[in-house]
Structure 1
Amino acid sequence: MSALEGRRVLLVEDESLVAMLAEDMLVDLGCDVTVAMRLDKALAHARNGSFDLAVLDVNLGAQRSYPIADVLFERGVRFLFATGYGFAGLEQAYRTIPVVQKPYRLEQMQDILIHVMTCTMRPRKDAPADAGCGCRPAMSGALRFQAEGFA
């Protein structure tokens, strides 16, 4: 049984093919996935849904997913950003949040989601950029993916 088995995941992704790929990966990992492809729908899910984790595409067309991140911060829901631009694609206030690099790979997705779910230090908005994850030193050899900030 996977550590992700039965976890409820909000997936916010505006590109339909990428959303399908990511959803399939999450389902293969045992997650129960809710997909939102627009900012308004994602905000409604973030405010009213019950999720263990969320994966937020940074760029949703001409909009950014930061309002969703702010709701998740308020509710204490753990999340990560997904982008092809790495940390360079994030506003400074959100640079302590883990980032998974697109295109997705199953093992990479699994490792970073388990890390986000089990990390002892929750990221905060506007935290110093070097605050990051308190687990990094202990996990440096354990993580096999190259998500920026964790390698």
Structure 2
Amino acid sequence: MTSKYSPEEFLRVLERELAAIADDVMQVRPSECLVCYVYRLCGLECTGPELIEEYQRRAAPRSTRLLERLQGLGASCACELFFNVYQPLEGFIAIPIEVYVASPEMCAELGIAEPSIPYDADPMPGFPCLGVRKGSTQPCSLWRRHALLGTWKH
């Protein structure tokens, strides 16, 4: 059986398809807040500031000092958004944080039990962001500021 594409054409088509899929995944859901967006896409895994910048580009382009403002609160990257600035409402996430943070390799490095939920599982299946107004960079009402910086309450 022969393909209608040469190997080079096949790779270009595949790259376009993968780029379209990635763009779909990266879309901000209607009225989705910054914190839910970052958490939905990376859990507590650190991706640097890229997801924060992507949210700004897609949902809040007028918020030109977003990263600077978050850095002032202690979040210069995605994971610090959760470890230093925002935490879920009391009782909202009852699963220990290491379930979301740790890959099998990280578990071994940290000396903790491997997660009971697959590492690549969606950390918020069916997670409904409570929504914010268009262009807002504030969290929805599922999140609150940390009482003590650097302290995660779970």
- Larger % of helix: which? 2
Shorter-normalised TM-score: what interval? under 0.3
> Which structure is richer in relative contact order (CA contacts within 8 A, separation 6 or more)?
2
- Larger % of strand: which? 1
TM-score (norm 2): 0.26
